[in-house]
C-alpha cells in the first residue's frame, strides 16, 4: 500500500524527470524522439525510485535506456537541484522500459489481422511481471 507521502514524492519526481530527460534528448540531437515518464514508484523508506519510461519511436528504447542508466548520477544531480526545496534526499533512481503501449498495440493488431492469438495462442509472447 502506497502512502500519500510516497505518491507525492513520486509525482514530483515524475514531472521533473520527464522535463530533464526530454531536454537531454533534444540537447543530444534526438529531436524526433519522445521520452515520457509513465510511472514512478517510490519504496516505503523513500530510498529507491523505480522510474518507468516510454519511448517513441520504441525501436531505440533499449539503446536510449542504456544511455539514461549510464548518465544516472548526472540525472540524479539535476533532479536534486530541481527538488532541493521539496526533498531532503533524492532517492536512488532505477530505470525501466514501460512497454505497455507497445504491448496493447500488438494485441490490437493481432486481433484485427490474420494472426489472431485466439486461434493460435503461441503468437503472443508471455508478459513479464514488473
Please list, residue by residue across 69-100, b when 16 or more beta carbons sit within 10 angstroms of its beta carbon and e when fewer do.
eebeeebbebbeebbeeebeebbebebebbbe
pLDDT at 126: 65
Q: Which three cell numbers stand for residue 23?
A: 531536454
pLDDT in tens, 36-62: 899 999 999 999 999 999 988 878 888
Over 90: is that where the pLDDT of 128 sits?
A: no
DSSP reduced 3-state for 8: helix
Homologous superfamily (CATH) of 4-98 is K homology (KH) domain (3.30.300.20)
- Is-contact 93 51, C-beta < 8 A? yes
Polymer length in residues for the chain:
130
DSSP state of 57: S
pLDDT value of position 44 = 93
Strand order in the sheet with 48-56: 34-42, 48-56, 92-97
Q: What angle separates helix 4-27 from helix 72-82, to the nearest 10 degrees?
A: 120
Q: Report the range of poorest mean pLDDT among 28-32, 52-56, 125-129.
A: 125-129
* Domain residue limits, the chain: 4-98, 100-130
pLDDT in tens, 61-88: 888 899 899 999 999 999 999 999 888 8
Angle separating helix axes 61-70 and 72-82, nearest 10 degrees: 70
Residue 17 has pLDDT above 60, yes or no: yes
Indicate the pTM of the whole model. 0.77
Amino acid at each position: 500500500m502506497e502512502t500519500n507521502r510516497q505518491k507525492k514524492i513520486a509525482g514530483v519526481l515524475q514531472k521533473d524527470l520527464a522535463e530533464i530527460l526530454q531536454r537531454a534528448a533534444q540537447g543530444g540531437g534526438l529531436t524526433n524522439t519522445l521520452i515520457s515518464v509513465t510511472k514512478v514508484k517510490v519504496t516505503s523508506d523513500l530510498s529507491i525510485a523505480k522510474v518507468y519510461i516510454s519511448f517513441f519511436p520504441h525501436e531505440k528504447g533499449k539503446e536510449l535506456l542504456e544511455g539514461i542508466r549510464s548518465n544516472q548520477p548526472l540525472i540524479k544531480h539535476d533532479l536534486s537541484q530541481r527538488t532541493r526545496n521539496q526533498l531532503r534526499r533524492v532517492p536512488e533512481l532505477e530505470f525501466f522500459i514501460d512497454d505497455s503501449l507497445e504491448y496493447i498495440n500488438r494485441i490490437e493488431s493481432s486481433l484485427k489481422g490474420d494472426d489472431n492469438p485466439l486461434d493460435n495462442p503461441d503468437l503472443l509472447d508471455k508478459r513479464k511481471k514488473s
